[in-house]
Amino acid sequence: MEKRTVGIYVRVSTENQVDDGYSVGEQTDKLKKFCDIKDWSVHKVYTDGGWSGSNIKRPGMEMLIDDVKEHRVDTVLVYKLDRLSRSQKDTLYLIEDVFNANGVAFISLNENFDTSTAFGKAMVGILSVFAQLEREQITERMRMGRIGRAKAGYFKGGPHPPFGYDYIDGDLIVNPVQADVVKSMFEDYDQGLSLNKLTRKLNKEGHIGKDINWSYRTVRQVLDNNDYIGKVHYLGVSYEGNHKAIVSESLYNHVQSELKRRQIENYKKFNNPRPFRSKYMLSGLLRCGKCGSTMSSQISSYKKQALSGKRLSYAIRYYCVSSRPSKLHGALSISRVDSCDAPTYSAIELEDKVLTKISTLSKHPERVAKLFTKKVNKIDTKPLNDRLVQIENQIERFMDLYGTGTFSIDRLNSRIAKLNSEKEVITEKLKKATDQGPQLAADRMMDQLANAPQIIASDDYTEQTKLVRSLIDQVILNDARMTIKWHLDW
């Protein structure tokens, strides 16, 4: 009898783990007994417990492939063909390009065939077709089941529910701490904050309820997600959900309109680039008090004949309601997109006026304090305090797991470091919610203002721009009247 060195491969998917004949133990026992009867040597049992057969990216399978390529085995033995794979393409790849290419035979005990024979090779092709068909039928049944759940108002499930919710017993349940962050995101964007500024703000505050930093893409995904108005979205269709909404439908719809409007505006800017757009101090901060539109920096150029007879070029920079440039009598002029009659503002004069406001504020701490006492505190401290209790409980649980040997010291330190980081951010938020909060914030702003007079006097335009952007959220212009909305999140 031919002596063989066998690699036994065993796989169970989550839905088949308890089925008779499919458990890891059952398969392993039968395959080892078969090798004993044949007097074959078992090199290793490669096990993938709880892994789907839809692809071959499985740890046990990858180890088996490595050993086949290193010629550590000359035969691969499975209990049933679909334990190898449920994909026709993957099955044929493994047999033809991995096993046969390295001189390794493949045997399926249940189907009773061997690829070293012509009949076995033919049977593999036939059976793999049926395995593929079964997989596609399972996928179709799962898809129909998910559509049914969505129509009934249930979330499609999965390991990652939308930020703001917990997925408990098949239902989306509002997470109070995360939901407060979601509300703030919608409100901030609706009030004019850009996606980039909103992302920076969230990360500056700390990623409360989130393990990693916010990115532009994840912020955009939150604002696009209609789960937050009580909907369930699946395969391009929205259904009425059973879960509680976090934001109002009117706010959500307004944010969607604003997202589209800004996208179109950015697209136009990209395809009609104007020089120096992002270099100027007040770019992105100005808003018209009459029509509510953003205001941008423009340059008007013209030529004038000097006493010497030479024609010299001049350029005047100013701010105006967002518009498009056009040529008029050889000079660059501005064609208004709408009918707003807001005037244009000299960039130099307007920027000087803003810097003067900052300089004046830096000399009056009482005015800074007044800014923060006017700020109405709407923070609900209960969810934050509840989250602190949860963090303490989690830390205790991780310590217990470490004590039982379940956690390594590195894993323990990593988890506790993340929890302590979130704890510090929440503690800081709670501190801001106390009576001392406004005074602490005012002190921080005064620290920033301390260097303002020197920066303004330096004539360093770059540093002046940084100063303005660190202190101001928005400047609203209504004819000669200028209103500054200071950055109050300190």
pLDDT tens for each residue of the chain, 490 residues long = 578 999 999 998 765 444 444 688 888 999 999 999 999 999 999 998 888 888 888 999 999 999 999 999 999 999 988 888 877 778 878 988 899 899 999 999 987 778 877 777 777 667 667 666 766 776 677 777 777 877 888 887 666 789 999 888 888 999 988 998 999 999 989 888 888 889 888 888 776 767 678 888 889 989 989 999 999 877 678 888 899 999 998 899 989 888 888 777 665 554 444 333 346 788 878 889 888 888 888 887 665 555 556 665 556 788 888 654 433 334 434 444 456 888 888 888 899 899 999 989 988 888 888 887 755 445 567 777 888 888 888 877 777 776 666 667 777 777 777 787 788 778 777 766 655 556 667 777 888 888 888 888 877 888 888 888 888 888 999 988 999 988 776 6
Residue 76 within any structural domain of the chain = yes
Same domain, 196 and 106: no
Domain encompassing residue 27: 5-143
DSSP 216-265: HHHHHHHHH-GGGGTEEEETTEEEE-SSPPSS-HHHHHHHHHHHHHHHHH
pLDDT given for residue 209 in this prediction: 67
Q: Nearest CA to 290 among 338, 336, 342, 339?
A: 342
Please report whether residue 375 resides in a domain: yes
Residue 305 within a domain: no
DSSP letter for each residue of 289-333: TTT--BEEEEEEEEEEE-TTS-EEEEEEEEEEESEEEEEETTEEE
**Catalytic residue numbers, as ranges:** 13
Residues 14 and 120 in one domain: yes
Angle at 317 between CA 356 and CA 456, to 5 degrees: 25
Crossing angle between the packed helical segments 437-449 and 365-374, to the nearest 10 degrees: 140
87 and 199, same domain (yes or no): no
d(CA 185, CA 246): 11
Q: 38 and 97 share a domain?
A: yes
User: Assign residue 479 a region: left if phi > 0, alpha if psi is -120 to 50, beta otherwise?
Assistant: left
Q: Which of 7, 8, 9, 23 is nearest to 84 (CA)?
A: 9
**What long-range pairs does 307-316 form, CB within 8 A, spacing at least 24?**
316/346
Looking at residue 102, its pLDDT comes to 93
Distance CA 293, CA 336 (A): 12
* Backbone region of residue 309 per phi and psi (left: phi > 0; alpha: psi in -120 to 50; beta: other values): left
Residue that finishes a domain, picked among 267, 292, 314: 267
Tokens representing residue 101 in the block: 């290419």
Within a domain: 20 = yes
Which backbone phi and psi does 41 adopt, to 5 degrees?
-90, 130
Which sign, positive or negative, has the C-alpha torsion 446, 448, 453, 454?
positive
Does a structural domain hold residue 393?
yes
pLDDT value for 423: 80
Total count of domains within the chain: 3
pLDDT given at position 19: 46
At residue 380, the pLDDT reads: 64
Examine the domain organization and report whether 473 and 361 are in the same domain: yes
3-state helix, strand, coil in the chain (%, to 5): 50, 20, 30
Q: Considering only CA atoms, which of 36, 40, 37, 33 is closest in space to residue 7?
A: 40
CA 399 – CA 411 distance, rounded (Å): 11
Question: Are 194 and 81 contained in the same domain?
Answer: no
Note whether 35 and 88 are same-domain residues: yes
309: CB partners within 8 A, 6+ apart: none
- Domain of residue 89, CATH code: 3.40.50.1390
Q: Which two tokens stand for residue 396?
A: 């205790």
Q: How many CA atoms lie within 13 A of 188 on its CB side?
A: 24
Beta-bridge mates of residue 295: 321
Q: What is the pLDDT of residue 333?
A: 41
Residue 31, domain member (yes or no): yes
Domain boundary among 252, 267, 282: 267
Q: What is the pLDDT of residue 330?
A: 42
